[in-house]
Amino acid sequence: MIDDPADAAWDRELNDLFLRIGHRFGRADLRRRMRDYVRALLGPVGRKNGWQLAEYAGHHTPDGLQRLLNGATWNADNVRDDLQIYVAEKLGEDSGVLILDDTGFVKKGITSAGVQRQYSDTAGRAENCQIGVFAAYATTRGRALVDRELYLPKSWTDDRQRCRAAKIPDERTFATKGELARAIVLRALASPLPIAWVTADSAYGQEWRFRRMLEEVSVGYVLAVPKSQHVPRFGRIDHLFTQAPDEAWEKRSCGDGAKGPRVYHWAAVQLPAIEDFDGETPTRQRWALARRSVTRPDEIAYYLGYAPVGTDIDQLVRVAGRRWAIEECFQAAKNECGLDQYEVRRYVGWMRHITLAMLAHAFLAATAAQAASKGGAETVPAPWFRSPWRKSAGSWQLAPPQGQAERFAFTR
């Protein structure tokens, strides 16, 4: 149960966050709507659609919040930059890991920006959906989403009239998910986020341009790759590890999961030295790794790594295990902050809603980290903000300011 001091501390921290980003909203009414929107995303709202968010915020209609997303003048990328500064301060560590992945948003119709029938990991099959490419930042203090891009299929970018109808900027041409991920990584590296490692699944790890970019900026990585991945001088990576002796496989934990330590058999081999030298001494080393299920030895996952010389295998294994943090971020942001419950069709509205939902999720992560540092609970539930709206007998009632007895009824 949230007591009054905890409630007050929650409000104080949230107001501090609003002060950080308030300058991005040029008018007082926009700042109020932004605060109402984020508070509603954090509130106990069953379905975080326009009407229910507006009712929770005390608005008679959702028009004001819809204008905040679709018509008002503010830049979601600027808020994204402030979000990264906030996460760096609250969760940042020198050993921070940036995680790349995409997630689907199932949608009806054909007018929502970027929507088409395509494979969605969320649904586990091809669906009519939008796909967002995201980055999460993870340390021992916590994890949060820090960047996003909407993937636009060629069916959209080749139809400029359709793009203009969805308010997609003319400069947004076709980019693969890998290209979007590279742009996200470069932005994150230019931000205050302290990043030592990058990890991602095989959809990104198999792209040599993605790996080479990380090597060029001297950032370590542990990236999943398909079993057919070619390893220079050794051929396919799965063939490389079929030759590994039994003693090369050792039980190691790649981090704690919901049911305790995630233990697998791991094998790792250093690959030939690359071009990163200090004089005649190599400074970084490439690796190949394999993760085998303890109970199902036929289930093997493969990785390519890049790390400073002297990095031990346990560190590489821990970085590989960090990849699950972004799945936890997706689940929490969707369940608790309405990441996927938007009712916008235009590109600008999508970027704005997603950014504000990420901001709400980052606040939850920062609050949990602060509580954990003080010996509190690992996660902190959101207190129910004292909204003036109460539902009774099928209608919403608006409580008047304290000291006034009159009540007003509002029915949709």
What pLDDT score was predicted for residue 261?
A: 84
Give the per-residue pLDDT at 99: 98
Q: Give me the mean pLDDT over the 207-216 stretch.
A: 95
Per mean pLDDT, which range of 2-11, 71-80, 128-137, 272-281 is the poorest?
272-281
> Is residue 387 predicted with pLDDT exceeding 70?
no
How far does the chain reach from its first CA to its final CA, in angstroms?
A: 32
Alpha helices in 142-266 (DSSP H): 154-157, 160-165, 177-190, 202-205, 208-216, 237-242
Q: Do 88 and 72 touch, CB atoms closer than 8 A?
A: no
Tell me what the mean pLDDT of segment 221-241 comes to.
Answer: 94
pLDDT at position 49: 86
Q: Give the whole-angstrom CA distance, residue 309 versus residue 312.
A: 9
Q: CA-to-CA distance for 107 and 114, rounded, in angstroms? A: 10
Checking if the pLDDT of 253 tops 70, the result is: yes
Q: In the prediction, which pLDDT does 274 show?
A: 61
For 287, the token pair is: 């690796």
In the predicted structure, residue 351 carries a pLDDT above the cut 70: yes
**Res 279: pLDDT:** 55
Please check the confidence at residue 398 and state whether its pLDDT lies above 50. no
Q: Residue 393 pLDDT more than 90?
A: no
Q: State mean pLDDT over 205-213.
A: 96
Task: List Cβ neighbours of 346 (8 Å cut-off, separation of 6 or more).
Answer: 70, 113, 166, 167
d(C-alpha 178, C-alpha 202), whole Å: 11
- Strands 197-200 and 220-225 come out as parallel
DSSP state of 234: T
Closest C-alpha among 173, 152, 156, 175 to residue 165 = 156
Strands 97-106 and 197-200, by their bridges, are parallel
Q: What pLDDT sits at residue 276?
A: 55
Which pLDDT score, from 0 to 100, does residue 272 have?
80
Q: Which two tokens stand for residue 363?
A: 């606040």
Distance in angstroms (rounded) separating the CA atoms of residues 222 and 208: 13
How far apart CA 203 and CA 93 sit, in angstroms, is: 27
**Lowest mean pLDDT: which of 118-127, 173-182, 323-332?**
118-127
Question: In this model, does residue 332 exceed pLDDT 90?
Answer: yes
Over residues 4-47, the pLDDT tens digits come to: 556 777 888 999 999 999 999 999 999 999 999 999 999 998 88
- Binning pLDDT at 50, 70 and 90, where does residue 280 land? low
Give this prediction's pTM.
0.88
Count of Cβ atoms closer than 10 Å to residue 209 Cβ: 10
- Per-residue pLDDT at 119: 87
- Bridge partner list, 266: 250, 291
The answer to which of 45-59, 79-93, 145-159 has the lowest mean pLDDT is: 45-59
Mean pLDDT is highest, among 69-73, 198-202, 281-285, for 198-202
pLDDT at residue 100 is higher than 60: yes
pLDDT of 273 strictly over 50:
yes
Give the HSE-up count for residue 215: Cα atoms under 13 Å, Cβ half-sphere.
21
Which tens digit of pLDDT belongs to each residue from 161-178? Answer: 999 999 999 999 999 999
Q: What is the pLDDT of residues 300-319, one digit of tens each?
A: 999 999 999 999 999 999 99
**Which ranges of 103-259 would DSSP assign to H, the alpha helix?**
154-157, 160-165, 177-190, 202-205, 208-216, 237-242
Query: Which two three-digit tokens encode residue 149?
Result: 């891009």
The per-type count for the chain, helices as H runs and strands as E runs, is: 14, 17
The residues, ordered by sequence, that sit 6+ positions from 407 with a Cβ below 8 Å of its Cβ are 397, 398, 399, 400
Q: Give the chain's mean pLDDT.
A: 87
